[in-house]
Every structure is written in structure tokens, then in C-alpha cells.
Amino acid sequence: MTHLEEEILKTKEDTLKMFQLTIEQVENAYKSLFTKDVALAMAIKNKEEQINRMEVEIEKQVENVFALFNPVAIDLRFLMSVLRIIYNLERIGDSSKAIAKFVIKKKYILDEDIIQKINLNDLYEIAFKSLLLVKDAFEKEDVKLAYQLIEKNTDIEELCDEAQIKIAEYIRQHPDKTEYGLSILSLIRKIERIQDQSKNIAREIIFYLEAKILKHQGKI
């Protein structure tokens, strides 16, 4: 294994560690939201700094590879993809922290009736499974998994659109709870962004892997 190959492997391993921490943050945000666990929410908020540090460390690592090895072709595409992947992971971490803050405020206790109406559990499940899928696609270098996320029919957008309509109706019926309704709307948008960022990561994986597949087929 060449020095460049070693650096590429280390970059992938470190990115997978960032993936795993981000997944844990999203999962714990879900738990804290539905169990009203303020201590867990505080832990999520504090751990966000660790995700930020990992992003900076991987960025520096990639910059060093550029400077020392001047990578080209597939290696260059991989490193460019990693920079955008870790940016999206950091953004997912931001969404998890924002959900945790919702719990920490405590005055916004989730109303079981509104949870059912807006299918909040389904929204979260779709977003979380999208993140798990894209992590598998990166780890296994499986372009089909990445395309599965981009092209799948079941999307969070339709559910989010329906939820927004129901929240608007809730606010009209309960004008004294306008602030609460708007906070729930903000929560939904944070969850939707988790899937949006996962799809962005899938696109970066496709950008890298399709060139690699063509290389192995002798087409580039």
C-alpha cells in the first residue's frame, strides 16, 4: 500500500467515525424529544462541538493530502467528495442540536394529539433511515444504495407538506397556542433537513463511485 493509499484509507475511516457520531446524535435527539429527557438533550448539545472538531480535523487531513501527494483522478474525486460529505454531516449535527434545544426549553411539551396528526414518528423514521442508508453506501462503496436514497418513492417532503397544513389548521383553532404551533413547524423543518443533507451526501458518493466503476470497467 502506497503512502497515498494509506492516507485515503485513514480519511475514509475518520469520515466513518464522524458518520457514526452524527447517527448517534440524531438517534439521541429522537429519544430525548419523545421521552422529554433534558439531560440527554444537554449531552447532545455539548457533543456537537466534537462533531465540529472532527470536521476541522478531516478538512486539515485532506488539505495535507492535497499538498503532499497532489492526488488526481479517482483519489481527487474521493477527497473532494469527503469535504462535502463532512460539511453535510456537520449540518445534520446542527439539526440534532436544534432538536435538543427544543427539549431543553421544556415549555414546549409535545402534544400527543398533534404528534399523531402530523405523523412525527414517521417523519423521524424516514430521516433517520436515510442517514443510515447513506452511511452504508459510503462504507460499502455501493452506488446502488446511494441511488436508492435519491430515487426512492417514499419521501419526507409529502409528509412535511401535509404536516404544515395540519399545523396551520391547529393554529387557527388554537390562536392562544400560535407560538407552540410555530415551534412544532420549526421542528419538522429540522427533521426534513436531516434527509435533505443525507441526499446531498448520496450525490457526493455517486460523484465519486461512478468514476471508480467506469475505471474498473476500463471506460476511463
List per-block mean pLDDT (blocks of 10 residues) for the chain, which spans 220 residues: 93 98 96 90 93 97 94 92 98 95 74 80 93 97 93 78 91 88 90 94 93 51
Phi, psi of 196 (to 5 degrees): -60, -45
Indicate the domain borders of the chain: 3-216
What global pTM score does this model have? 0.91
Domain at 3-216: CATH code: 1.20.58.220
Give the pLDDT of residue 106: 67
Largest Cα–Cα separation, the chain: 66
Q: String of b and e for 182-204 (b: at least 16 CB within 10 Å)?
A: eebbebbebbbbbbbbbbbbbbb
Rounded Cα distance, 131 and 14, in Å: 17
Give the pLDDT of residue 60: 97
Rounded Cα distance, 187 and 191, in Å: 6
Rounded Cα distance, 88 and 4, in Å: 25
Give the pLDDT of residue 52: 96
Rounded Cα distance, 127 and 213, in Å: 28
Rounded Cα distance, 83 and 77, in Å: 10
- Grid look-up 404528534 returns 115
Give the pLDDT of residue 203: 93
Rounded Cα distance, 154 and 195, in Å: 12
Give the pLDDT of residue 151: 81
Rounded Cα distance, 73 and 71, in Å: 7
H helix runs in the chain, sequence order: 3-35, 38-69, 73-105, 112-117, 120-140, 143-151, 156-173, 178-216
Instruction: Tell me which residue of 60, 50, 45 sits closest to 20, measured CA to CA.
Output: 50
